[in-house]
Amino acid sequence: MAGQSNHELSLFSAEELEFIAEDEIVDIVPNLKMDPLCLISGDFGPFIPQIVTQVPLWLAIALKKRGKCSIVPPQWMSVEKLTQVLEAERDSQEMSEHLPFHYVEISRLLFDHARDNISDAYMVRSLIEDIRDVRFHKVETDLEAFNGRTIAVKIKNLSAMEVNIVRPFIGRALQAFYKHDSPDLIPDPERVSDRRPQVAPNAPRV
């Protein structure tokens, strides 16, 4: 980790965000019979063929890879829902609240591992990409509104990927603004050390 900038350290990679998103709960339709699994995050099951049950996304993917289940795409991944979200995103300056925090990561994982379970997969992927582009443009527009007197910015309903992109920029931008306009607001290590009371080497300790 030595030698990396603060900018690099503050960002998660796409793979790390996907790893976090794998704890999200999804529906599966198992094709095996199995007793409940007792995991750190909770108990899941029992697993009965053709009976929908809920599991973490990572477990759903593991079972899917072994041909032991099909994954039920979340309701927000339907063409109808995504079309509504896209229209809402285009019609408003606010971010839509109808997408989960990890919508980018969840959709990517499902396309990678359960594409055959997604109806109208091509259209769904296209809509998600359009939504992501519109939302990223809004983020860029909000960040361009920064100025030297900005002390806070409020952007509601950001996704994990968007937060990951915005966080280091905001930190660097505010630091630069404050340093340029109000250098006295940024502590100077040398000045701080000069203000500390000087104790004589042989002075008695209290």
The CA distances from residue 95 to 18, 101, 136, 154, 191, in Å, are 22, 12, 10, 11, 44
Q: Report the pLDDT value the prediction gives residue 1, as an integer from 0 to 100.
A: 40
The per-residue pLDDT string of the chain (206 residues; one tens digit each, 9 = 90 and over) reads: 444 444 444 578 889 999 999 999 999 999 999 999 999 989 999 999 999 999 999 999 999 999 999 999 999 999 999 999 999 999 998 899 999 999 999 999 999 999 999 999 999 999 999 999 999 999 888 777 765 555 566 778 999 999 888 877 766 666 666 666 655 555 554 554 454 444 444 544 44
User: How far, in Å, CA of 160 to CA of 123, rounded?
Assistant: 23
Q: Report the pLDDT value the prediction gives residue 123, as an integer from 0 to 100.
A: 98
Determine the topology of domain 15-72 in CATH.
Ribosomal Protein L9; domain 1 (3.40.5)
Mention every residue, 6+ apart, whose C-beta is less than 8 A from residue 169.
Answer: 143
Instruction: Kindly list the domain boundaries of the chain, sorted by start residue.
Output: 15-72, 73-184
For 73-184, give the CATH class: mainly alpha
Per-residue HEC secondary structure of 13-56 comes to CHHHHHHHHCCCEEEEEECCCECCEEECCEEECCECCCCCEEEE
User: How far, in Å, CA of 206 to CA of 161, rounded?
Assistant: 53
Q: Report the pLDDT value the prediction gives residue 151, as an integer from 0 to 100.
A: 57
**Residue of 73, 75, 84, 80 whose CA lies nearest to 131:** 84
Q: Which pTM was predicted?
A: 0.77
First to last CA, the chain: 41
Q: Report the pLDDT value the prediction gives residue 155, as an integer from 0 to 100.
A: 77
Q: Report the pLDDT value the prediction gives residue 187, as an integer from 0 to 100.
A: 53
